[in-house]
């Protein structure tokens, strides 16, 4: 194993540099370390006065007592560098995601607290689920949505806790629908909406299977000017009619969303499957622009954390 001092030095250096950056950006939630040293395979995020410390699954085998000692050392090092109390360091082991892992409880409840980002407020919980309620790697795209939402009708598919909708609504969207199948996350979205003083009659929450929603919405002649489609890579949720495999199902989802998109509208499509490739047929049917590079924030060392495209109708 690498020397813990190397880890401490790198973390300290990152923090010194990024504290100024975060202050300039007016951010309280950002990434300070992302597997910078391979022997310390963690993603470390600041959320206000708390640290979210996720261990990547490397497949390494260590004796349980050696492993615990190593993990304790890492936690102490993080605590030493950031200066937060021990109870504010939230540790998670991140195994390779299978199916509905994003929605799985960790067995710990933890406390909900509020973080602010670009003038918006969000509830997060660093213990209860594998994910925190706010995907920091989508910060740039959220900001983009907020900056172009004035007067627009907005649709958020696979909405999770509704953060894109918060940006759209506070950015002047005149109407929105936020679609997910999980009651847990739709309740969370509702709390985020209330936190940002959104009108729930204008910004509607829809519990639905996205595949079914796309079929029904076309029949109802719904139209949107801005759509975000950010599906999980894979899902076998019992509530879904079918298993979702994003590589296989991309055309079905993108075509379905494009049928709801106004002629001069924009669809933002993203996912975090590393091996994902966009079908050539999609690039023929629509005007497609890969914006992955611009969409990944400066604090993310891993530039492959997600891919993102801007998709429009080809003007005839």
What are the pLDDT digits (tens) for 230-251?
997 666 655 555 677 788 888 9
Helix (H) or strand (E) holding 247: helix 246-258
Pairwise CA distance, residues 295 & 303, whole Å: 10
Point out the least confidently predicted range of 32-36, 70-74, 95-99.
95-99
Predicted pLDDT at 93: 77
CB 228 within 8 A of CB 144: no
d(CA 103, CA 100) in angstroms, rounded, equals 6
Q: What is the per-residue pLDDT across 163-190, written as a single tens digit (0 to 9) for each?
A: 999 999 999 999 999 999 999 999 999 9
- pLDDT score, position 85: 94
Q: Write b or e for each residue in 48-81: b if 16 or more Cβ atoms lie within 10 A of its Cβ, otherwise e.
A: eebbbbbbbeeeeeeeeeeeeeebeebeebbbeb
- Chain mean position to CA 227: 16
Amino acid 100: pLDDT:
46
The predicted model gives 73-101 an average pLDDT of: 81
pTM: 0.92
Reduced to 3 states (helix: H, G, I; strand: E, B; else coil), residue 288 is strand
Q: What percent of the chain has pLDDT over 70?
A: 91
Calculate mean pLDDT across residues 142-158.
98
Please state the φ and ψ torsions of residue 133, each to the nearest 5 degrees.
Answer: 110, -15
Calculate the dihedral angle through the C-alpha atoms of 165, 168, 169, 171, rounding to the nearest 10 degrees: 150
Whole-angstrom Cα distance, residue 245 to residue 89? 34
């Amino acid at each position: 194993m690498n020397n813990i001092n190397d880890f401490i030095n790198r973390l300290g250096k990152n923090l010194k540099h990024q504290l100024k950056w975060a202050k300039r950006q007016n951010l309280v939630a950002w990434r300070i370390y992302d597997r910078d040293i391979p022997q310390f395979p963690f993603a470390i995020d600041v959320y206000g006065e708390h640290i979210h410390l996720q261990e990547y699954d490397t497949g390494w085998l260590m004796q349980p007592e050696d492993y615990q000692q190593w993990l304790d050392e890492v936690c102490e090092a993080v605590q030493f560098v950031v200066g937060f109390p021990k109870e504010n360091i939230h540790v998670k082991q991140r195994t390779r995601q299978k199916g509905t892992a994003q929605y799985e409880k960790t067995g710990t409840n933890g406390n909900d607290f509020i973080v602010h980002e670009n003038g918006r407020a969000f509830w997060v919980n660093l213990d209860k689920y594998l994910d925190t309620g706010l995907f920091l790697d989508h910060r740039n795209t959220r900001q983009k949505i907020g900056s172009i939402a004035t007067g627009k009708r907005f649709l958020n598919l696979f909405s999770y806790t509704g953060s894109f909708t918060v940006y759209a609504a506070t950015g002047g969207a005149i109407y929105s629908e936020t679609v997910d199948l999980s009651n847990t996350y739709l309740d969370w979205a509702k709390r985020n909406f209330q936190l940002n003083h959104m009108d729930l009659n204008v910004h509607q929450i829809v519990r639905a299977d996205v595949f079914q929603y796309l079929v029904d919405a076309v029949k109802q002649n719904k139209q949107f000017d801005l759509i975000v489609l950010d599906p999980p890579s894979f899902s076998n949720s019992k509530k879904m009619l079918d298993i979702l495999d994003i590589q296989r199902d991309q055309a079905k989802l993108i075509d379905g969303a494009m049928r709801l998109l106004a002629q001069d509208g924009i669809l933002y499509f993203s996912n975090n499957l590393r091996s994902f490739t966009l079908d050539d047929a999609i690039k023929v049917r629509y005007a497609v622009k890969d914006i992955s590079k611009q969409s990944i924030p400066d604090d993310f060392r891993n530039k492959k954390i997600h891919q993102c495209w801007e998709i429009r109708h080809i003007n005839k």
